[in-house]
Structure 1
């Protein structure tokens, strides 16, 4: 219950920050930025901002690699929140994290989509993409990015959303490890404490979930810590 309350407070607090405390929203500039990104007119976009925008997408895929399995066993599926997260980032994700119940099991068969999310290829592809994005970001204008962070609500909110993705991942990590019968406290803490690359390496190394896993709830150090 404390976890749920904390997540709802975080969600409400982030919304309040964006509405009342964040820098002003420059709507025309934001729409121009999004147009340039989606039309691949990247020459007119600061590489730092383009990389940050793409890394938010990487985070959504990281969470998808965990929560689509989790949602199979919840009273509410994950996919509506995944769709909402595409447009709103953590604002669409946090309600699912607050509504879900602790879940250490998975049953049934994996369809092609879940098999992709469960594959090492998925984790490796995300890791290589992230490395490329970070290298590209170093070529950008960091002074200009910092100025926009201080003066533009969209850039400011997107940057904070990236940080929240890092902060919240441990809340679902323990249950995913328990579903895979991977009771390893060292792996949990390394994954939880190393931002972005911890979860990426975890996706590359974690054992696959077997089809028709028996619905048993194992006792897991990692799950209890994650809650």
Structure 2
């Protein structure tokens, strides 16, 4: 109960913070998003491009755990992950709060689950992350990003959402349940490495974890 309450408080607190305390909405607040969606990437600060893409990477990382987990839940994981495409972490947290701890898996792995469970998917995500970080580090204007973070609500909220993705990954038993399904102990050093190394810990886990056993 405490875990669920904390998740709902984080969800509500994030909404309240963005609405009341984040930088105010300006006429150009959503210009970075509009420019990204229109494909005019060269006109945007590479830091913002990378950050936007890394939020997408995080959604795929969570998908690699939640879709298998959702098979054993009463709430449909796909609905919340679909909502996350539009709302980011706001769509994900309700699933984490509503799901119940479950360390089992049964049934067939369909094509989608097989792809999410594949180590090659983890390798693709890890390589993409390295490219995105290098793009931001070597070509990004970090002083301009700092200014955008302080004045643009969209950039501000997206940055905080990225941090929440990092914080929540090991917290709501999603990771420990996934490890148990694969015969890995959540008390091991592996769990601590995955949990406390932001972004690269989860990516390494996806690259190295044993496959999920399902009925063939």
In structure 1, the residue matched to 2:64 is 65
> Which string of whole-angstrom CA distances, capped at 9 and with x for unpartnered residues, describes residues 48-90 of structure 1?
0000000000000000000000000000110111111111111
In structure 2, the residue matched to 1:117 is 116
Residue 159 of structure 2 aligns to a residue in which SS? helix
Once residues 33 and 78 of structure 2 are traced to their aligned partners in structure 1, the CA distance between those partners, rounded to angstroms, is: 24
Once residues 134 and 30 of structure 1 are traced to their aligned partners in structure 2, the CA distance between those partners, rounded to angstroms, is: 24
Return 5+ residue gaps in structure 2 as ranges. none
Q: CA deviation at 1:40?
A: 1.9
Once residues 201 and 8 of structure 2 are traced to their aligned partners in structure 1, the CA distance between those partners, rounded to angstroms, is: 25
Residue 29 of structure 1 aligns to a residue in which SS? coil
Mapped pair 1:199 → 2:205: no
In structure 1, the residue matched to 2:180 is 178
Once residues 37 and 22 of structure 2 are traced to their aligned partners in structure 1, the CA distance between those partners, rounded to angstroms, is: 25
In structure 2, the residue matched to 1:7 is 7
Q: CA deviation at 1:153?
A: 0.9
In structure 2, the residue matched to 1:41 is 40
Q: Structure 1 residues 38-47 or 202-211, which shifts more?
A: 38-47
Q: CA deviation at 1:32?
A: 2.8
Q: CA deviation at 1:110?
A: 0.1
The alignment covers a number of residue pairs equal to 212
Once residues 72 and 103 of structure 2 are traced to their aligned partners in structure 1, the CA distance between those partners, rounded to angstroms, is: 9
Runs of 4+ in 1 over 3 A off after TM superposition: none
2:29, 2:153 within 8 Å by CA — same for their partners in 1?
no
Q: CA deviation at 1:168?
A: 0.4
TM-score (norm 1): 0.91
In structure 2, the residue matched to 1:220 is none
Q: CA deviation at 1:31?
A: 3.6
> Cα RMSD over matched residues?
1.2
Mapped pair 1:209 → 2:212: yes
Q: CA deviation at 1:212?
A: 3.0
Q: CA deviation at 1:46?
A: 0.4
In structure 1, the residue matched to 2:21 is 21
> Which string of whole-angstrom CA distances, capped at 9 and with x for unpartnered residues, describes residues 183-227 of structure 1?
2511100000000000000000000011139xxxxxxxxxxxxxx
Once residues 79 and 53 of structure 1 are traced to their aligned partners in structure 2, the CA distance between those partners, rounded to angstroms, is: 21
Residue 14 of structure 2 aligns to a residue in which SS? helix
Residue 28 of structure 2 aligns to a residue in which SS? helix
